Each structure stands twice: as structure tokens, then as C-alpha cells.
Amino acid sequence: MKLDLANPAWRQTLPPARSIAADAPAAASAFSRDGATVAFALGDGSVRLLPADIAAAAPDAAPPLHGGAVLALVGDPAGDGFISGGDDGRLLRIGADGTATELANHKGKWVEHLAAHRSTGAVAAAVGKTAIVVKAGEVREFGPHPSTVADLDFSKDGSRIACAHYGGVTVWSIGQPVTLPPRRFAWRGSHVALRWSTDGKFIATGTQENDIHVWRMAQATDMRMQGYPAKVKSLSWTADARFLYTSAQPVFTAWSFSGKGPEGKPPFQFGEEGAGLLAVVAAHPAAEFVAGGYDSGELQLGDIKTRRSVALKMADGSAITCLAWSPDGFRLAVGNERGDLLVIDLRR
Amino acid sequence: MAQAQVPVTVLTGYLGAGKTTLLNRILSEQHGKKYAVIVNEFGELGIDNDLVVNADEEVFEMNNGCICCTVRGDLIRIIEGLMKRKDKFDGILLETTGLADPGPVAQTFFTDDEVKARTRLDAIVTVVDAKHFLGQLEQGDEAEEQVAFADVILLNKTDLVSADELAKVEDRIRAINRYARIFKTEKSQIGLDAILDKGAFDLKRILEFEPDFLHHGHDHDHEEAVKSLSFSADRPVDPDKFQKWMGALLQLRGPDIFRSKGILAIDGAPRRYVYQGVHMMMDSDWGSPWKDGEKRSSKLVFIGRNLDGENLQRGFEDCLK
């Protein structure tokens, strides 16, 4: 079974999907490690759990777990549930059955960004100017940083975390019994999004000034790509680390990191021009596909090999806020500002 | 999705002037409205409200070659985060620390696209301590700059000073900022309609400030203090020349010019051209049409430090037809 965008069925009908109106903005979506459950972080403090199988019966909405909005959500790397962060300062572990246990509580701060590392089972959370890492029941703090941590990610092997903040990126070794001095990668201005490449060789950030910045870890050299009409708040590396997808363009935009890298070359741009700008991009977990949600509500699936794209959802005026691929790469969990939750089944 | 922009009221003022009292007063009144309150990390008193966010006042320089372009990074993040909540609110009240420069706060609303899309800066309200203001002016630039940026000033704690002292303080405030509305208060007691929903940063409502523009600016004192200057002209303005002059002026003198506003009669244009700026950031639009037979005159206002009135007058006159 594979995704084949040349199949005329893609152009004739939209793929089957489960659609639920949650009536609260969706901030994040995620699949569980086993792929059986999908979850949405909602602005009413609840985390909506649904079966990944769109034909299975959906359980009722659960009561709020957080006071305020749930701001961040990832699949639990150490189980088959989820990890959530909220503007109540709490970090929760949520079982596949919806029961929650508190991992950390930082009242007065927001837990806005989370990262999970599959093979080590570690979770990292941005809590104000500090990053915390939860692993095997132990919580460790890294920081403080020069400003609030605006995003964070694990290295490929899970031995380090990178934190974005005002003035650059800070990389901490997290596996040592004592905290070693961090490595700092400086670039003026505020960095608002961060993704470590899937091969561990590059760290990419989006900046307040509408450009992206990429550091090459081995040589500590860096590059800057300009020309975006808005802040690039969504970055996604392909599974083979050959391409970095970026939001804030009307078509799929991928910088090539194979060979000599992207310096001096334009990015690959392909697919049908969508309505508005891409707000969220998510590279497929294994193959050369990419999903992109627009600020108009349109959703597209692109294939860089054939330079084609197809629509998965039409524009409806509510910006897509989150996108997640199932581990097997055949389902997408999509949420928007209005609180429409979609689980799309791409097998056709 | 076209959604209404949430109005933001900025409460500023020196330490102990009465900001938190004012904030609690706004929140405790029976107005049936819901406010999100952003307080600074050093907030002294408890705030009685469901939705209170602690801000760190992270001032970021924009990496765009503009030296005075600083924004409040925490504010960008917080506004974005507040919009993720299901519970919506009618307004945002933002309290700054006593020593904060209002510039980065105001510039955030001119600079960040997402903040601009979701919120609008309604007014900067400055609370002044009538008893200590003159002393605070000696201690640094903050008290003076907070008054310079203000759209509305609460001259507070009037019960603690004599009539003479009060007059002296008011004169000093007027010397800095001739255009803000001043309300004299005790214990921050004020009707909410005086400070909320003023639309002071709304270009369409700049016209309402017209009566304030009547003064003609001539400056003969050579103090290096913050002051207000205004200029008017009855001949139409050449738009190209004006753009060039104002662009160069703000580029060069932006750090010293806290606020600027203007209503221009552009040569041949049927509508008023309105603009306003904070430091180097400027926003402009076409305002209401001139009526038949109406006298078409232009007015400019600057509030800033080291303003050279004669130079500005000459520069403006060079832009006239």
C-alpha cells in the first residue's frame, strides 16, 4: 500500500475523514506511539482523544484536564498515551484511556512547547526561560536562557536538546549526571521556531524578522534564508533529512540539504498555489510526501518527486493550526482555529 | 477569519503612582465585560481577575537595521497564546513596570503582523503621582517618557498636595505633553469611559483630537527636555515631498520622537490624509472627506526630546505647494 497522487481519485473526491466540531481552538494534534489513538489539545483545557480508525465509535468529549488552554501536545514516547502542556503551568501524562498524572507544575508560567524522543522515552518542555526534561520519572532543568524558550527539539540520538530564544540557540547535553556548560549558537534577533534535522547535522530556526536561520553543527557555520512574507513558525525536516519544509509561502517550499546544502540556491517550490499562506507543514514520517495547512483552512498533500499536490480540504476561513501524521503515514490529524477536528484516512 | 480586534489598554506610570489600584478598580466595576490582564513580574498587589498573565517584559531589538525598533517579545507570545483559549474577552489590560519605557510596547502593535491582526492598541494611560512626580523627573527619563507617550493622564493623589503644588505639576505635564487628556483623581478614582475604548491609536479617530491641535508651535526654550510641538499650514501639502521629509526625519530622529500625529490636506485629494507614529514606526491612511467649502488645513504634532522647532517648521513648509 502506498500514497499515489497520480491516482485520479485524488482529484475527484476528498479522502474520507472523521470530522468533529469541538468548539474550542485546537493548538496541537498528535498520534499515540502505537498509532491507535489520536489526540487534540483544545482551548477549553481538554484533550480530545479519538480512535485513529475513522469508522470506530468516538467516545464523548472528556472534561478539562488543564485550567485555561492546552498549548502543547505530543505522543508519549514512553507509552501509548500523550503528554500535554497548558497555560496553567502543568505538564501532564495522559493515558490512552484519558486518565492524567501530573509530571510537573510551574504555576504562573505557560508550558507552550514540547518535544518527545522516541527511543529514549524522554520529553522536553519549555517552561518560561527554562527547559525541563522528563525521563524515566526524573525531572531535570536546563537554563535559564536569555529569554523565554520559544521552541525546543531533541537531537537525533536524544542526548541533547536545542532551545530557541532571543539571540540564538542553546544546546544542552542532557545525558550526563552533571549539567555541562551549554553550547551557544548566536544570531541577533528573536528565534520563534526550531527543528533539529532528522540526521542531527543541522538546527533550523524561524525568526521574528520573517527569515530562517540554519546552523551546521559540525563546523558551527550558519546560513540565513530570506524573502518570506510572514514569520516562519512551522519547520519540518523530511525523514531522510534531505529537505527542510517551511511555512509562510503559498506553495510547498523545501530547502535542499543534500550535497553542498542550500547556500546560493533557491528552494524547491511545487504544487498548486493554495489560498493564503501555509501555516503548518508536516513532512511524511517515511516517504517523500508533505502535508500543508493554510491560514485559509485549505489543506494540501504534496509529493516532491512528482512536484504535484492535491487538496485534502478546501479553504473555509478558519486557519489550520496543527497537523500530525500517524506513525504508519496513512492518516493525518488536523485541527483549526475554530475547533474543527479532522482525522483523514489517506488509503485509497 | 475576519475577527474583531481586541482593544488593548496600556497602563503605565512610575512606581507607586496607583496603577494597580486603577487596575483593580477597572476590574471590580460592574461593566459586564471580561478582561485579560497582563501584569509585570514585580506586580505588588493581588489582582482580582480570572485571567491574569505574568509577563517578563522581554524587550527585543528587531534585527532589521532599525536602531530604535524594539518590541516586547513576551507580549507577542502572550497575545498569541491568549487567542488559543476558548474563553474570549472584551479587552486586554496591560500593566507595565514603573520603570518601563512605553516605546517597545507601542511599537509591538505597529510591528508584529499577528499582533496587529488580532489586537489594536487603544490608548496609553499614564498614572502620575502628584506628590512625587517632580522629584521623579530628576531621577531619570522614565517618568518624563511615560507622560510623553500618554493619550490619557491620571493626575493621581491630588489629595496629598496643595493647589499650588498641583498647578505646578500640571504645568510640567503640559510642557511635556500638551495633547493628552488630563484627569485629576484621588486613589485612581475615574469613570471607565474616560480611559477605556478611546481609540487613540485609531487613525479614523485622530480627527476627534482636532481641538487639541489649536496651539501653534513656537519654541524658544533651549532645554534638552521632552516637549510637544505642533505645526499647521493652510496651503496644500505635496505628498512626495512630505513622504521624503518625514521618512528622513524619522530615520534620523526616530529615537527622540516618541509620538507623532498628523492630519494633512494633500494637494488635489478629496480626503484627509491621517498618520501617526511611535519612534520610527508609522501608520497612515485616508480619513474622512473634506466638505464643500471647508477650510483645508494641515496639522502636525510631535512629542519628543531635543526637538528643534524652527528646523521642523522649515522642513514642513518646504513640503507645501
What's the CATH code of the domain at B311? 3.30.1220.10
B165 and B249 together in one domain: no
Q: What one-letter code names the amino acid at A325?
A: W
B223 and B160 together in one domain: no
Which residue of chain A comes nearest to B62, CA vs CA? A189
What are A302's three cell numbers? 504534496
pLDDT at residue A100, as a whole number? 97
B62 and B163 together in one domain: yes
**Interface contact flag, B81 A150, Cβ < 8 Å:** no
pLDDT tens digits, one per residue of B16-67? 899 989 998 888 887 788 999 998 866 555 666 678 888 888 989 887 766 6
Q: Which CA distances in Å does A318 have to A50, A177, A287, B143?
A: 22, 47, 29, 44
Run of H or E residues at B6: strand B6-13
**Interface contact flag, B1 A108, Cβ < 8 Å:** no
The partner residue sitting opposite B60, judged by closest CB among A110, A129, A208, is A208
Residue B56 sits in which domain range?
A: 6-194
Where do we find the cell 512574507?
A: A229
Minimal Cα–Cα distance from B108 to chain A, Å? 12
B121 and B49 together in one domain: yes
Q: Which of B194, B218, B237 is the last residue of a domain?
A: B194
What are A83's three cell numbers? 503528554
CB–CB contacts below 8 A, A to B: 77
**Interface contact flag, B81 A87, Cβ < 8 Å:** yes
Number of structural domains, chain B? 2
B248 and B181 together in one domain: no
Asked, for residue B28, whether it belongs to a domain, the answer is yes
- Specify the pairing of strand B271-278 against strand B281-289: antiparallel
**Interface contact flag, B84 A69, Cβ < 8 Å:** yes
The partner residue sitting opposite B81, judged by closest CB among A71, A166, A190, is A71
Asked, for residue B110, whether it belongs to a domain, the answer is yes
Residue from A65, A87, A111, A321 to probe the interface with B (highest B Cβ count within 10 Å): A87
Domains in chain A: boundaries? 9-345
**Interface contact flag, B58 A319, Cβ < 8 Å:** no
B27 and B157 together in one domain: yes
Q: pLDDT tens string for chain B (321 positions)?
A: 345 799 999 999 998 899 989 998 888 887 788 999 998 866 555 666 678 888 888 989 887 766 678 899 999 999 999 999 998 889 999 999 888 889 999 999 999 999 999 999 999 999 999 999 999 999 888 999 999 999 999 999 999 999 999 999 999 999 999 889 999 999 999 988 889 988 888 877 665 554 444 444 444 444 568 899 989 899 999 999 999 999 999 988 988 999 998 999 998 899 999 998 999 888 888 988 999 888 898 989 999 999 999 999 999 999 998
pLDDT at residue B217, as a whole number? 45
Give the CA diameter of chain B.
57
- The CATH superfamily assigned to A9-345 is YVTN repeat-like/Quinoprotein amine dehydrogenase (2.130.10.10)
CATH of the domain at B131: 3.40.50.300
B119 and B23 together in one domain: yes
Question: In residues, how long is chain B?
Answer: 321
d(C-alpha B155, C-alpha B183), whole Å: 6
Minimal Cα–Cα distance from A347 to chain B, Å? 31
The partner residue sitting opposite A148, judged by closest CB among B56, B61, B85, is B56
* In contact, B98 and B40? CB cutoff 8 Å: no
B243 and B120 together in one domain: no
Where do we find the cell 490512552?
A: A96
DSSP conformational letter for B194: G
In 3D space, the residue among A234, A285, A237, A278 whose CA is nearest the CA of residue A258 turns out to be: A237
pLDDT at residue A236, as a whole number? 98
B218 and B78 together in one domain: no
Minimal Cα–Cα distance from B38 to chain A, Å? 12
**Interface contact flag, A27 B86, Cβ < 8 Å:** no
The partner residue sitting opposite B81, judged by closest CB among A110, A166, A187, is A110
Q: Which of B127, B159, B194 is the last residue of a domain?
A: B194
Minimal Cα–Cα distance from B176 to chain A, Å? 33
pLDDT at residue B209, as a whole number? 52
As for the ipTM of the complex, it is 0.91
**Interface contact flag, A166 B60, Cβ < 8 Å:** yes
In 3D space, the residue among A91, A158, A96 whose CA is nearest the CA of residue A125 turns out to be: A91
Q: Which of B194, B221, B245 is the last residue of a domain?
A: B194
Q: Spell out, as residue ranges, where chain A has pLDDT lower than 50.
A: none
B90 and B21 together in one domain: yes
Instruction: Flag whether the pTM goes above 0.90.
Output: yes
Residue B163's contacts (CB-CB under 8 Å, 6 or more residues apart) are: none
